[in-house]
């Protein structure tokens, strides 16, 4: 297994390190436009493999030719949010970056799975799929995995229980319009709506929706990277180990939930063949209304990106 990580910033470097720690690949290629950065970080990581008892080989480079025949490509490159910025503010610059990076990677790895992390994520997933021409089974975004991780973390904090007992699900676009499904959320099998008052649960959902912004506000000069990187690696592991995990990923819908062409997060089965199945939940009127709003926002942003990039 050969895995390429595009972008040697905080997210990309953390993704590469965790993949190597878990020995999910024989070789990890860390690529970035900045000369010396991926080489230095890659060498530093490789030297840590002896301590971690991992045989994964890590290479840092600026040359896409060294990514040839990758099985999985993870797109992390892009500008990070600054305080006061929304994910959509990054649209123009990051769309151009993703178009160039994915196009370069696809030239050498046309049969790879492409996992998108760059923001605004759902739109960047659309851009990557258009650039490669690959189906939604091979090009998908990380959004819902991260959103759900934040949501479940806040529930664990609220109740003071093990985070391992919390199971939740978030649909829709990666951003303020995401749709936390409290009706499908459980703690050790107990419906969360039986454990947390409705008004407090709504506050937790809002915090999850603004989870990235909260971290940006704290950091001032950067954005979240540990949770996004870990979320991406969970997706990688599901593919590499053929785990058939049910994870909320951003994909292009083909009629599911009543939408065709929209790119948003929905639960899918992720295994050795990428997205192997889309799970369509029976939503109530409130949940469907929230999802309609989220899909509308993402679709409008995609249309803007199509005009800007002449796609």
- Angle of helix 91-108 versus helix 121-132 axis, rounded to 10: 40
The total of other beta-carbon atoms located within 10 Å of residue 286's CB is 10
Burial label for 256, CB within 10 Å (0-12, 13-18, 19+), is middle
- Which residue is associated with the tokens 């002896």? 50
CA dist 115 and 60 (Å) reads 19
Q: Which two tokens stand for residue 185?
A: 């959320």
CA dist 153 and 174 (Å) reads 17
Beta strands (DSSP E) in 117-242 are 139-141, 166-167, 170-171, 179-180, 186-187, 190-191
Q: Is 156 helix (H, G, I), strand (E, B) or coil?
A: helix
Catalytic-residue membership of 174: yes
Q: Which of 94, 174, 201, 264 is catalytic?
A: 174
Residues noted as catalytic:
174
């Amino acid at each position: 297994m050969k895995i390429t990580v595009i972008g040697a910033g905080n997210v990309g470097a953390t993704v590469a390190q965790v993949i190597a720690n878990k020995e999910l690949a024989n070789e990890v290629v860390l690529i970035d436009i900045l000369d010396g950065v991926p080489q230095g970080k890659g060498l530093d990581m490789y030297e840590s493999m002896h301590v971690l008892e991992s045989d994964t080989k890590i290479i840092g480079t600026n040359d896409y030719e060294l990514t040839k025949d990758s099985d999985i490509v993870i797109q992390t490159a892009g500008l990070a949010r600054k305080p006061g910025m929304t994910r959509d503010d990054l649209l123009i610059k990051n769309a151009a970056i993703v178009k160039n990076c994915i196009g370069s990677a696809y030239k050498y790895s046309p049969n790879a799975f492409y996992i998108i992390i760059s923001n605004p994520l759902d739109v960047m997933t659309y851009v990557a799929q258009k650039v490669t021409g690959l189906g939604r089974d091979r090009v998908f975004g990380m959004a819902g995995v991260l959103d759900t991780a934040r949501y479940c973390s806040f529930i664990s904090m609220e109740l003071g229980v093990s985070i391992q007992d919390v199971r939740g699900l978030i649909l829709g676009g990666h951003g303020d319009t995401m749709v936390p499904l409290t009706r499908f959320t459980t703690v050790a099998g107990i419906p969360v709506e039986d454990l947390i008052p409705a008004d407090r649960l709504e506050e937790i959902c809002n915090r999850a929706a603004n989870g990235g912004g909260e971290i940006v506000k704290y950091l001032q000069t950067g954005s979240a990277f540990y949770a996004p990187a870990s979320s991406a690696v969970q997706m990688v592991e599901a593919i590499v180990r053929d785990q058939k995990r049910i994870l909320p990923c951003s994909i292009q819908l083909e009629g599911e939930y009543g939408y065709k062409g929209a790119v948003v997060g929905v639960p899918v089965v992720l295994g050795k063949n990428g997205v192997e199945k889309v799970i369509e939940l029976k939503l109530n009127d409130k949940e469907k209304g929230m999802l309609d709003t989220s899909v509308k926002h993402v679709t409008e942003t995609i249309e803007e990106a199509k005009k800007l990039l002449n796609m």
